[in-house]
Amino acid sequence: YPLTSIPDYYSIDSLLTEEHKLIRDSVRSWVESFVMPKIDEAAQNHTDIPGLMKELGNIGALGPYIPEEYGGPGLDQISYGLIMQELERGDSAVRSAASVQSSLVMFPIFEYGSEEQKRKYLPKLASGDMIGCFGLTEPNHGSDPSSMESKFTDQGDHYLLNGAKMWITNSPIADIAVVWAKGEDGKVRGMILERGMEGFTTPTTHNKWSLRASKTGELVFNNVKVPKENLLPNVEGLKGPLSCLNSARYGISWGVIGAAIDCYCTAVQYTKERKQFGKPIASFQLQQKKLAEFLTEITKAQLLCLQLGNLKNAHKASPAQISMAKRNNVKMAIDIARESRQMLGGMGIMGEFPMMRHAANLESVITYEGTHDIHLLITGMDITGINAFG
C-alpha cells in the first residue's frame, strides 16, 4: 500500500511539531527499506534480523529520550512514541528490541545508576554496540514479581547472586543484563550483570509461535560473583523495576498502533482489488463495517497516546493511566490483526501479507509488560482503591 494511505483521520499531524513529523517519517522510511524486505523471512525462520541493533542505534531509536550527554538523542516522549509506532508497523520484534534497550536497560541505568555506570554503559547502548536485557520475570513469578526468589548475599567485597529469570527478550544475544533480585533484607535491588561472569548463563527459548524475529531466553545465576559497583545505587524496592515498566508500557501503547495501521492499510488495499461475485469485496457492507471500525479504533488509540505523551512530557502520567492505554491499544491492535486476516480469506494466512505475523506477535504483547487482565485490575484498583490481586 502507498505510505500516503496511512490514516490520520483527525488531523493529528496538526498537533505534532515539525521535529516530530521529521523523526516519524525518517523512521518510517528506514522501516520500509530495512525491515519490510527482511521481516517475513526472519519470522518464518525464527531468526533475528542481522545487524538490527546497530541500525536501531544509527537511527536514534535506542534511548530516544536519553540526553545527548550520555549518547542519546535527547528527544521528548512523543518522539519516543512515534518511533515505537513506526518500528512496530514493521514488526513487534523490532519494537521490542528498541523498547527493552531504551526503557528497560538504559532507563534504569540513567535514572538509578551511578555516574560511572552511566558513562560506562549508556553511550554503547545508545549506539547499539552493546545489547542489554531486563530480568524481572521468573519461572514461578510472572504477574507477581514481588514474590521473586532470585537472591543475593553480601560477601564483603562482592555480592553472590543465585536464581533464574525466564522469558527474557534478547537474553541470548545480550552483553549485559539489568537483573532484579532480593537482598538479605528482602528488598528488591537492581544490578548489572555482564556476559562472561562465572556462573551466569543465558539459554535460548525455542519454538515460539509469536515474536519469532526476536530472541527470547532465560537468565540463570549459579553463584555469580557480582562486583559491588554493579549494584544500581539509587533505587530500592519493587518501584525500581515497575517504574521501568511505565516507560516500556507507554512505548507499547504507541507501538501497537503501528501494527494495527499495517493491517488496516493492507486490508483497505486488498479489499478494493479483490473481486468476488463480480465486485470488489470492499463494496460489501460487512467488509466496510470492519474497515470503518478499524479506522475508528486506530483514531481513538492515536488520540489516547498523544494526550498520554503530553502528560508524560509534563511528568504527570500516572502508572494507572499508562496501564489503561497499554491495555486498550494492544486489544485494539490484536482485534484488528485477527479480523483483517479474515478479510484476506486464505491469503490472510500467508507470509506475503502481515496479518498473521502481527496477530501472532500481539499474543506476546498482550501478555508481556503486564497481562491484559493485570492492567484491568490496576484500573480497578485506581477506581476503587481496593487491590483485587492477592
Residues classed as catalytic: 369
**Contact window for ligand FAD (CB under 6 A) among 81-89, 136-144, 275-283, 317-325:** 136-144
State yes or no: residue 345 binds ligand TGC (CB under 6 A). no
Q: Does 389 bind ligand FAD (CB under 6 A)?
A: yes
Give the largest Cα separation in the chain, rounded: 80
Residue 340: contacted member of ligand FAD, ligand TGC, none (CB under 5 to 8 Å, by partner type) = none
Note every long-range contact of 313-317, with CB atoms under 8 Å and residues 24 or more positions apart, other chains counting. Answer: 313/76, 313/77, 313/78, 317/246, 317/250
Q: Draw the binding track, 238-277, toward ligand TGC (x: CB under 6 A; -: no contact).
A: xx--xx-xx-x-----------------------------
Cell representation of residue 263: 493491517
Question: Do the beta carbons of residue 175 and residue 217 sit within 8 Å?
Answer: no
d(Cα 322, Cα 308) in Å, to the nearest integer? 7
Residue 243 is a binding residue for ligand FAD (CB under 6 A): no
Q: Please tell me the count of residues contacting ligand FAD according to CB under 6 A.
A: 21
Residue 317: name the closest of 253, 234, 374 by CA.
253
361 binds ligand TGC, rule: CB under 6 A: no
Quote the crossing angle between the two packed helices 319-343 and 285-313, to the nearest 10°. Answer: 160
- Alpha carbon 195 to chain centroid distance? 23
Q: Which does 199 bind (CB under 5 to 8 A by kind): ligand FAD, ligand TGC, none?
A: none
100 binds ligand TGC (CB under 6 A): yes
Is 134 among the residues that bind ligand FAD (CB under 6 A)? yes
Q: Is 299 in the site for ligand FAD (CB under 6 A)?
A: no
CA-CA distance, 174 to 121, in Å (whole number)?
Answer: 13
Picking from 263, 262, 268, the residue whose alpha carbon sits closest to that of residue 281 is 268
Question: Would you count residue 373 as binding ligand FAD (CB under 6 A)?
Answer: yes
135 binds ligand FAD (CB under 6 A): yes
Binding footprint of ligand FAD on the chain (CB under 6 A):
100, 133-137, 142-143, 167-169, 211, 216, 364, 367-369, 371, 373-374, 389
